[in-house]
Amino acid sequence: MNLRTVLFLCCLVAAPALAQTESASKSGVEADATVAPEAEGTVPLADIQRFVSVYRAVRQGYVDELPDRKVMQAALRGLLTDLDPHSAYLDKEQAQGMDEFANGSYDGVGVELVQLPDRSLRVIAPIDGTPAARAGLLPGDVIIAIDGKPVDVDNADAGKSQLRGEPGTSVVLRVLREDQPQPLELTIERDTIRVTSVRACLLEPRYGYVRISTFQSETGAELGKVIAGIQSTDEPLRGLVLDLRSNPGGVLGAAVEAADAFLDAGLIVATKGRTPFSNARFNATRGDLLNGAPIVILVDGGSASASEVLAAALRDHRRALIMGERTFGKGTVQTVLPLDNGDAIKLTTARYYTPSGGSIQARGIRPDIVLKAASFDEDSDEILPRESDLPGHLQAADAGSERGEREPGKPAADSDYAIHEALIMLKGLSVFGDKAAAGNATEDAASATPDAPAR
């Protein structure tokens, strides 16, 4: 693409404004771009001229000669990166990588990242059972160098591509950690990541544990299968621990399906944006897999996006208690829009709203029962980063109040403090539920008994 082509494209974008100016000139009115209002949907002509001037300066004066395609891609990346932390321009490889992640299989280290202003990459959460988790990468870690070179990328998605590669190859990360005075170096061997997003087991007879590590296209169906595997008609579960800690989110539809698995009716989540396709309401259908048995949801600062949708939906319907730390606070929806050359843009198109009508964007979900180290004050922010810490984050856009490497297959309640506490809570809730049910049954029996004759 040469400069003449760029000018031609800019003229096409400006055509409505130019036509308006020409019309004003023919009618004898002096055309003044600084005074005449711009037609809705057009780009101001002065801004286009300014863009062309900057493009020309880069082409002619940059220290190294740059291909036109590289300059234009840099401009497009900058346009999206400055909007919010989650909008990005994706080249063909990155776009394919997003599809692979949603389907649960790709080559890499298995980590969810977000970009900081200094172009370093912050870990939202490593995914269970992946090389990143096994190597000891933790939520809140900041990656400052990859293979000895300082991170220098335009967005987090480009950084992810640097971590991808052939299985068996290694990548060395230099990492800053909150409680470490010196950077750490972690060597991680890439692998084919086949993420099993849902795992389940029994903590004790009739008390179940389900771990959802990320939300993929098949997560809803997998959830039904694993719950069926740990309960039976003869021995239904009396309670469930649902572990969403360090779950970075994923496919919104999968979180909706997971919430629907425990609800009989009602709103799960609503999305609101500026375009018709961005506005939607997702409602539950009849059928609770646990038949009302209590649920305790475990969350932490790495619980983000779709995991927050699930947690908020179940709490708002009084279907679950939330235990742990305040969640990350990512309450926005991204849509991937493909381009004709195989590239794509990932654009923030909506905020999502909980059944109570509130937004958790940049707020997070504050748990019903706080679990954290005793040295932290309850009202202080935890050391893990949140959405509200990211520069350029979107506001919640509502007036609502804030409510705001483990062994994943067989967790031991006596070695994981949060699971231990959740199990104790479940037992209490189930006993209370049994007494309430027994009381209702007694009342029903009394009302069904014929009145005795008077004596």
Active site (catalytic) residues: 305, 316, 330
Q: Is residue 286 a contact partner of residue 312, using CB atoms and an 8 Å limit?
A: no
The pair of three-digit structure tokens given for residue 68, joined into one six-digit string: 């036109």
Which residue is listed with tokens 């172009």?
119
Give yes or no for a contact between 161 and 93, defined as CB atoms under 8 angstroms apart.
Answer: yes
Any idea what the Cα angle at residue 177 is, between residues 171 and 178, rounded to 5°?
A: 170
Say whether 131 sits in a helix, a strand or coil.
helix
Beta strands in 248-294 (DSSP E): 267-273, 280-283
- The SS3 call for residue 452 is coil
272 bridge partner residues: 351
A 10 A CB-CB count for 167 gives 12
271 three-state secondary structure: strand
**HSE value, Cβ hemisphere, 13 Å, CA-based, for 47:** 7
Structure tokens given for 1 = 């693409």
Integer Cα distance of 120 and 115 in angstroms: 6
Helix (H, G, I), strand (E, B) or coil at 422: helix
C-beta separation of 122 from 113 below 8 A? yes
* CA-based nearest residue to 228, from 290, 313, 152, 283: 290
